[in-house]
Chains A and B, each alone.
Chain A
Amino acid sequence: MGQETVIELKDVTTSFFSRKQELTVVDRVSFSVEKGETVAIVGESGSGKSMTSLSIMQLVPAPNGKITNGEIIFNGEDLLKKSKKDMHKVRGNDISMIFQEPMSSLNPVYTIGEQLREQLMYHQPLSKREAHEKGIEMLEIVGFARAREMMREYPHRLSGGMRQRVMIAMALSNNPKLLIADEPTTALDVTVQAQILDLMRGLSKDYDSSIILITHDLGVVAELAQRVVVMYGGQVVEEAKIDEIFDKPLHPYTEGLLNSMPKLNDEQTRLQSIPGSVPTPDNFPKGCRFVTRCPYAMQVCTEEQPTLLEKETGHKVRCFLHEEGVGKDGNIDRRSKQTQ
């Protein structure tokens, strides 16, 4: 693992323009995904993780949203430089995506078979019959016992878990090099969640495909991902291997996220939470974006933005606590009045 980079984002910046201002929802985001690797993007609602994925697909809601800067290197080519027509070939073929809401992601007026066939025939030179057989095969791969019958069903007759399987089948039908899963299990029952996660893990192993998993559920991350990118306020605040994130998180936000996860063998009855919520892009603090909610906030945090630094090999963090010469004494606690 880790020889071949499938996709690399370099300083990708996406903004929304209103008449008065420019709101940056994805701020110089950089990370990469290797072949066969699953990278999780974690963060609360509004942290910019879904926008990052839409930026990769270049489906940021027009006309207000725009990718203003950066490069997205996929297969050695910058996707942002591709023409619209070429992007149509990339979408659903090289990169495909599954969504949070399996209930509304399938077109209610077409059967599963029609939708699978369209998707296949759009990107591959298949006859209707071939596409039909391939569709059945895909449904079998995602675990439908009665795939042939399933082809004739309308989406409203399927449960959420089944629809999500269909979505996965559609997304994988053209052997994409990269699968973006935007909260694939959030809307599902816990038991079904486990099945879907199992399925995704199995498929990524069998086909050596890369996955970008977008979620706010660290349980899901632990199940699937090898590497984690933590986002906050449109920025990457920490990036590390899965074990390091769980064992020694460096950023206070990651720490907060981990603390707010329920643990089975814990005495504690009350679940911790991070106070407050993600600031909206129009009132990001001047300094560190997490400063308003950070238990370790210092004077410098309110004034300047920390930079994303590689603390250890493969472990990056954006926090003054870990920058040289700042707050080295270890027992920092609300030193808001003091200077560094």
Chain B
Amino acid sequence: MATVDQTGIPNRLTRPRQAASDVPEWISGIPVSWWVVGVALLFMPVVAGNFVLFQIFGWAFILGMIALSLMFLGGYGGMVSLAQMSIAGLAGYMVAILGPSGVQTISLFWPWWLYIPVAILIAALFATLIGALAVRTEGIYTIMITLAIAAAFFYFTRQNYTIFNGYTGFANVVPPELFGINWRRPIPFYYLTLACAAISFAVVVYVSRSPFGLALQGVRDNPRRMAALGFNVFAHRVFAYTFASIIAAVAGILMVWQNAQIAPGTAGLPAVIDILVIAIVGGLKRPIGPFIGAFIYVILRTYAPDILLALNLPGDRFKLLIGLGFLAVVYWSPDGVLGLWEKWRSHRQTRGDPLTGQGGKS
């Protein structure tokens, strides 16, 4: 993990600016393939059905954002936090508690412009506390302490009835009807999640080359040197938790709207582990990795039972398929699917026939 994000975008902050061009460097530097993916996503509703938009893409964007918050901490900060799902869950709970839900006795029915920022703020505070605890540890101990917090959050929400409504949780948690649009309908929801995911992604890419992001990567590679350059390593790490939590919190709010309900299981241990699997399968090195991982996960989650049934195997064994996929990725490429892709590409570049571009096998 000693390398810095080189997204393939030549947006290194020091590259000389192109003269006589009004297009900012960061726009002109985006490769063509990204524009293609962007346009394809933008026009997806033309070809895709409601189920695909809402259940596949919507869900993948949400999980991708939560995994992105893990990628930011893990990839740039060298801190693997298992509490990101709990942070998302807390934001979701806050929306249900402060805003409208089917549980009239608990929900406060605040207006949306109040409960959304407050929910994000509370989640960010929670994450800052987690960070302050977790950054005192390293490696496996960070994982353990954040896992412990995630487990505690799950059991607390399940046993607390006065605030979190215990085992049942909250149902009928719906988004506000802003601009007269029902945001839970597939096409609006698709664009809502797409916008949130794209903004989170762009912000992470941008921040990774800002002083804060560069310093975070410096702290990851060499905390001692960073302190000897005048950086407060502890504060930098804690703030990374705060920053990442905002992405997770937004995703948590979208998640509760998508399901229209939230219960302890939403942020239960299997969900917590899923986020780690998604981030690792996609690749922790780059911000696009978590979204690739989330997409693969959602596809498997949705279609694995059909595949298994087609093979005359019991359909409820879909987790076996996900587990095997996870094993395969980790075994062949510790950098996830992105790492596989890079290997394949560099293989082609070095071994491929220079005339035809074909081949790749020596």
A binds B: no
Q: Could you tell me which A residues sit within 8 Å of B by CB distance?
A: none
Q: Could you tell me which B residues sit within 8 Å of A by CB distance?
A: none
